[in-house]
Chains A and B, each alone.
Chain A
Amino acid sequence: MHNENHDHIIELIPAYALGVLDADESAVVIQHLGGCTACRAELAAYESVVDALPLAAPQIDPSPALKERLLEQIQASPAPKTAVPPASPWQRSIADYIQEFLAGPRWQPALALAVIVLLAGAFFIWQQAGPTPLNQVELTATDAAPDAHGLIAIAANGRDATLTVAGLPALPPEKQYQLWLIEDGQRDSGAVFSVNADGSADVTVDSERPLTEYSAFGVTIEPAGGSPGPTGERVLGHNL
C-alpha cells in the first residue's frame, strides 16, 4: 500500500537534502523517513553530495589581517558558556603550580587532596554563576508533538538565552530539531539540537541580535546540522 507513496517520496529526496522543498512537501518526506530505512539511506547519500558542494564554491583568499582579527575577537569574546573556559592568566598559574608541585620530589597526598577539593569547589561556584533570567517565553506544542513543552529563558542582557524542551520525540540520527527566531517574516536559526532519550534538552540559543527583538519563535524538524530556513514540520511555537 505504501509503495506508491515510497516511490513518490524517493523522488523528492534529492531536493529535500538540498533544502529546496516547500514546507508541506518536506513534512511528507519527514513523516515517511521515520519508517523507511531505504529512504534514510538514500537521504544520507544525497546529504553527502550537499556537504561536498562547498568545495565547488569559487575560492577567494582571506585578507591577511583576518586571522589576527579572529584571534583578537576570541580574546575579547566571553569564555565558552557551558564548557571548559579558556585559561585566564591566574588559572594558568594555578595549573602550572600544580604541575610543578607534582613534578617535584616532595609533596604530600593530603595537601594534594585539599587542592582538589578547593579547585572542585571553585569550579562548582563558577558553574553556578550565570546570568539571571529576565524574560521567559513559553513555547506551545503543535499537533505534530502534542506532549511537547518549551521555554526560552532570556538573560537581562537580552542576548544570552537558553531553550529548555521536554516531551519531544527522539529523532532518527539524520534529523535534528532547529529553533527559529522570527521577525517580520524573517527566520534566523537560533539553535540546532537533539533531545535526550526522555525527550528533553537544554540548549544555548545563538543569536546575533538580542532575542527581545524577535516577535515569534518556532521549533521544526530538520536534517541533522540544520537548514538555512525551516523545511520540516513545526513542533513548538510562540507568537509574542
Chain B
Amino acid sequence: MAISQSSIYLLMTLSQTIGGNIPTPIKFHAIRGDEKELQSALAVTELDDFALIQRTAQGDETALGALYDRYGRLVLSVAYGVVQNRETAEEVTLDIFTRAWEKAHTYDPQQAKVSTWLTRMARNRAIDRLRREKVRPFHHSVHWSDVIAEPVTESNQPETAVHLSLEQQRVRAAVASLPPAQQEALALAYFQGYSHSEIAQALDQPLGTVKGRIRAGMQKLRALLGDG
C-alpha cells in the first residue's frame, strides 16, 4: 500500500470540506455516475435525522429532500395552525427548510430533536409573520386536530413515519381529553403566541380563569405525555 489510511482520510475530509459530495468513505471509488446517485438517494431514506442534518450541512440536496419528506407536512401544519392560510403557510415552510439548508451546521443535537428544531422554528417564524402582517385570525378558527385514526402501517412506510404517526395519535388523544375551554386557551397560546392577558381579552374571560385553564391544561398534558 502506497499511502497510509490516515493520509487518505485527511485528503477526503479536506475535499469534503471544500465541497466534495462523497457519500461514504468506503464506497467512494466503487460507485460511479447514475449508480452513485441511486445509491445515495436510497441511502438517505435509511439515515437517522442527525445524519441527514450533517449531510445537509455538507450541501447534500438529497438529504434536505429526505428531511422535507419526513417533516414537511408537520412543519406546514404548524405554520398553517398559526397563519390559517395555505399560501402563507407554504411560504413559511419553504422558509424553514431553506433555513435548515443554510443553518444545518448550527443544529445542536444536545438542544433539541431535529423535528423539534424545525417545528420550533416554524412556530416562531409563523407567529413573527402573523404579527408583522397584523392579521389575527378569528380565534374560533384556531384549534387542535381532531383525533382521527389514520392508517399508520402501510407496509412500505419508513420506520420514522410510523413512529411519527403513532406519536401524533398519542398527543392528539391527550389534547382531546382536555376540557374544551382548556384546549381553546392552549391553542391561542401555542398558535397565536398570545400572553395570558391577550387570551383573557380574546375569550372575554377573567385573567385568573385563563391562568387556571392554562396551568391545569399543561399539568394534565404533562401527566399524560410524560412517560413517552
Chain A residues within CB distance 8 Å of chain B: 11, 14-15, 17-22, 45-46, 48-63, 66-67, 69-71, 73-75, 77-88, 91-92, 94-96, 98-100, 102-103, 105-107, 109, 112, 115-116, 119-120, 122-123, 173, 186-189, 204, 206, 208, 224-229
Contacts and interface: CB of A to CB of B under 8 A. Distances in A.
B140 interface: no
Given A66-B94, A112-B11, A56 B145 contact: yes
B190 A18 contact: yes
Interface residues of B, number: 99
B196 A22 contact: yes
Interface in B171-228: 171-172, 174-175, 186, 189-191, 193-197, 199, 211, 214-215, 218-219, 221-222, 225-226, 228
B59 A61 contact: no
Contacts of A186: 131-132
B14 A18 contact: no
Interface in B64-122: 64-65, 68-69, 72-74, 76-78, 80-81, 86, 89-90, 93-95, 97-99, 101-106, 110-113, 115-117, 119-120, 122
**Complex A-B, nearest 4 residue pairs according to Cβ-Cβ distance, in ascending order:** A95-B20, A86-B59, A83-B105, A14-B218
A224 B225 contact: no
8 contacts: A15-B211, A54-B78, A59-B145, A78-B102, A95-B22, A96-B20, A116-B11, A229-B193
Nearest to B20: A95
B8 interface: yes
B22 A99 contact: yes
B196 A51 contact: no
A98 B57 contact: no
A66 B90 contact: yes
Contact of A98 (B20, B112, B164): B20
Nearest to A84: B58
A80 B102 contact: yes
Contacts of B131: 186-188, 229
Contacts of B115: 54
B155 to A, nearest CB: 21
Contact of A95 (B21, B77, B111, B211): B21
Given A62-B72, A116-B10, A226-B120, A56 B144 contact: yes
B173 to A, nearest CB: 9
B127 A229 contact: yes
B139 interface: no
Contacts of A51: 112-113, 116, 119-120
Given A18-B189, A49-B218, A86-B19, 19 more contacts: A56-B144, A56-B174, A57-B145, A57-B191, A58-B144, A71-B61, A74-B64, A77-B101, A92-B19, A95-B22, A112-B7, A116-B11, A116-B14, A122-B18, A186-B132, A188-B131, A208-B95, A224-B111, A225-B117
